[in-house]
């Protein structure tokens, strides 16, 4: 998987100033971004988030999912720690793209759940391939992560390409009446770990 570093710049945000690193995935032309703060190449576990693009949640304030809330919480957590990395992966709609996600939402408006809708459209429930992260992490010198996620597939994928997951930290934010069914389906069919734990209650080593 060829993912090439293009350029870095500063990115000031409401939580602090990150360094923004741009990467190009050669095979698809997709442009991925990593935001880092502090020294992430010292070999110590880095507070990290693999965030899959969700235009509706991240940029358009949708309440159908929890993505925008998770994005904000992750950036704030990294800024609070003064060190970390957020990989913003262009994997819209769990890999099916924005137009197909809108088609899937239309089916969900008619009663399908998020997995059934993907399958009715002829897609797998989750088409993401996290292999693109490896060259980006290598470029940044990140060898171990304290991963902000509820998704066990991300933990397995990272371990599968040889990066340590020193800790898994739950990231549960933004639950509301519009996304309650979606979150229940993620827990029931996709294995997301969405218990009642809050981030502050996480035990070290809870991978």
Residue ranges of the annotated binding site are 49-54, 65, 67, 70, 92-94, 114, 149, 154
Selection from ligand GTP, Zn ion, none that 114 binds (CB < 5 to 8 A by kind) is ligand GTP
Instruction: Identify whether the C-beta of residue 175 lies closer than 8 Å to the C-beta of residue 184.
Output: no
Instruction: Identify whether the C-beta of residue 130 lies closer than 8 Å to the C-beta of residue 32.
Output: no
What is residue 46's three-state secondary structure?
A: strand
Count CB-CB contacts under 10 A for residue 59: 12
Count CB-CB contacts under 10 A for residue 184: 14
Residue 89 lies near Zn ion (rule: CB under 5 A): no
Instruction: Identify whether the C-beta of residue 90 lies closer than 8 Å to the C-beta of residue 30.
Output: yes
Residue 47 lies near ligand GTP (rule: CB under 6 A): no
Work out how close the CB of 61 gets to ligand GTP at its nearest, in angstroms, rounded to a whole number.
14
Residue 93 lies near ligand GTP (rule: CB under 6 A): yes
Please give the positions annotated as active site.
126, 128
Rounded to whole angstroms, how far apart are CA atoms 206 and 58?
A: 27
Work out how close the CB of 186 gets to Zn ion at its nearest, in angstroms, rounded to a whole number.
11
Residue number with CB closer to ligand GTP (65 or 158): 65
Instruction: State how far the alpha carbon of 148 is from the alpha carbons of 36, 78, 85, 124, in Å.
Output: 14, 10, 10, 24
Residue number with CB closer to ligand GTP (5 or 144): 144
User: Which of 32, 35, 48, 57 lies at the binding interface for Zn ion (CB under 5 A)?
Assistant: 57
User: Which of 3, 53, 71, 84 lies at the binding interface for ligand GTP (CB under 6 A)?
Assistant: 53
Work out how close the CB of 90 gets to Zn ion at its nearest, in angstroms, rounded to a whole number.
14
Selection from Zn ion, ligand GTP, none that 89 binds (CB < 5 to 8 A by kind) is none
Stretch binding ligand GTP (CB under 6 A), from 13-21, 40-48, 62-70, 157-165:
62-70
User: Which of 86, 87, 91, 163 lies at the binding interface for ligand GTP (CB under 6 A)?
Assistant: 91
Rounded to whole angstroms, how far apart are CA atoms 25 and 5?
A: 9
Edge-to-edge strand list for the sheet holding 144-148: 3-13, 16-25, 31-37, 84-89, 46-52, 144-148, 164-169
Binding site for ligand GTP (CB under 6 A): 52-54, 65, 67, 70, 91-94, 96, 101, 104, 108, 114, 118, 149-151, 154, 171, 186, 192
């Amino acid at each position: 998987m060829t993912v090439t570093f293009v350029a870095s710049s500063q990115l000031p945000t409401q939580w602090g100033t990150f360094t923004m690193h741009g990467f190009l995935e050669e095979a698809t032309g997709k442009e991925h971004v990593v935001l880092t703060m502090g020294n992430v190449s010292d070999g110590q576990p880095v507070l990290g988030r693999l965030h899959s693009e969700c235009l509706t949640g991240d940029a358009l304030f949708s309440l159908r999912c929890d993505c925008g809330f998770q994005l904000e919480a992750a950036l704030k957590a990294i800024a609070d720690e003064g060190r970390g990395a957020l990989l913003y992966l262009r994997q819209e709609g769990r890999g099916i793209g924005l137009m197909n996600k809108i088609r899937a939402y239309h089916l969900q408006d008619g009663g399908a759940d998020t997995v059934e809708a993907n399958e009715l459209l002829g897609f797998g429930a989750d088409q993401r391939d996290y292999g693109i992260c490896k060259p980006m992490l290598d470029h940044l010198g990140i060898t171990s992560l304290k991963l902000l996620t509820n998704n066990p597939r991300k933990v397995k994928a990272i371990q599968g390409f040889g990066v340590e997951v020193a800790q898994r930290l739950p990231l549960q934010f933004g639950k509301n009446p519009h996304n309650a069914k979606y979150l229940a389906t993620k827990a029931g069919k996709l294995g997301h770990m969405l218990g009642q734990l809050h981030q502050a209650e996480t035990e070290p080593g809870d991978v």
